A = this chain, B = another copy of it.
């Protein structure tokens, strides 16, 4: 499937160029936000000419969907990896599972934070260009939250399990993203918790939410 603003890259060479550009773009995203990355910089890092960039992408904005594509790709890969697999043992309980999930989220953010950061930033700076990107991205997460909600349905007091799963996923993610990515630069500076301690607090809050009567 060809995304908005990207051009078909049928030939192997075209594909190779595209891959180099995406890799260069992602590398730059680790250093600075999208607005501070110039097209010339991407080209240079990819080892191709500026013209070649415009042969693969309509314009600079066409790189924004790339952020979301990579985000999705990594999220899926993580979910499929041992680190990201969520397999409660026979003696597990809701609280322990929530803690485990919070820790997993933390691990993912540690690794792919640059994509998450860029995705959030673009959603704020260029909302017009985002469209339904988030919907797809959240689907899988919400689904797995729903699995959890169903699994521990006995312990959970929320009347609407779908809503519960959505809220669970949303609250946990936004808080942890904020803390994992912007601890130093944002209001999180007032907190001095380690990743694990924060994950534990998070799990408590989520447990409270799910079991509140």
- A contacts, CB < 8 Å to B: 33, 35, 117, 120-121, 123-125, 127, 130, 134-135, 137-138, 142, 163, 166-167, 169-171, 173-175, 178-179, 182, 184-191, 193, 201-202, 204-212
Number of copies: 4
- The answer to whether A189 touches B124 (Cβ under 8 A) is no
Contact status B209-A211, CB under 8 Å: no
If the complex has contacts A124-B186, A175-B174, A187-B138, are A207 and B212 also in contact, measured as CB distance less than 8 A? yes
For the complex, what is the distance from the CA of A212 to the CA of B188, rounded to whole Å?
Answer: 22
- Which residues from B are CB-within-8-Å of A163? 193
**A190: B residues at CB distance < 8 A:** 134-135, 138, 142, 166, 169-170
Chain B residues with CB under 8 Å of A205's CB are 171, 205-206, 208-209
Sample (19) of A-B pairs whose CB atoms are under 8 Å apart = A33-B124, A117-B124, A123-B185, A124-B182, A134-B186, A135-B189, A138-B187, A167-B191, A169-B190, A170-B191, A171-B175, A171-B201, A174-B178, A174-B179, A174-B187, A178-B178, A204-B209, A207-B208, A208-B211
Measured between alpha carbons, how far is A175 from B175 in the docked complex, in Å? 6
Task: Kindly list chain B residues whose C-beta atoms are within 8 Å of the C-beta of A178.
Answer: 174, 178
Closest residue of B by beta carbon distance from A36: B125
CB neighbours (8 Å) of A169 from chain B are 190
